[in-house]
Amino acid sequence: MPQDPAAIQRQIEQTRAELAETIDAIAEIVSPRRVAERAQEQLRARTAELRQRYGPALGLAPVPGSEVELAPGATSDAPSGVSAQSPTVVRVVRWDRVVLAGSSMVLLVGGVRRRRRRRAVRRG
């Protein structure tokens, strides 16, 4: 069934407009600037979540604007979950000691293996 050329032209123009909108939307989604902005927003949200969850145990203040529930007996100036009467315990990883302990273990294991090899060679 033949169609009116003007109707066909309108359909073509409409399809072109829809296609242009789709391409613009795709370009907006994959734009490096937009990707970086979304990644930055996700990082901020994840950091705020981790800070709210583990911040009080580490002695960090909650993120401004985030809601933190206070434990019974806790004051607003004390970290969440810590009462005003109990001292705050902050655990800090001493990386110099971790490296020292790790190096000592490597030397110990290496020495034991070397000693076993020497004994095996003497017997052998």
Model's pTM, two decimal places? 0.35
Full residue range of the structural domain in which residue 103 is found: 94-124
d(CA 91, CA 79): 15
Q: Is residue 121 included in any domain, yes or no?
A: yes
Q: Is residue 105 included in any domain, yes or no?
A: yes
User: Using one digit for the tens of pLDDT, what is the confidence trace for 57-114?
Assistant: 777 665 555 554 444 554 544 444 444 455 666 667 777 777 888 888 888 888 899 9
Q: Is residue 103 included in any domain, yes or no?
A: yes
User: Using one digit for the tens of pLDDT, what is the confidence trace for 3-45?
Assistant: 898 999 999 999 999 999 999 888 888 888 888 888 888 888 8
Q: Is residue 3 included in any domain, yes or no?
A: no
Q: Report the domain count for the chain.
A: 1
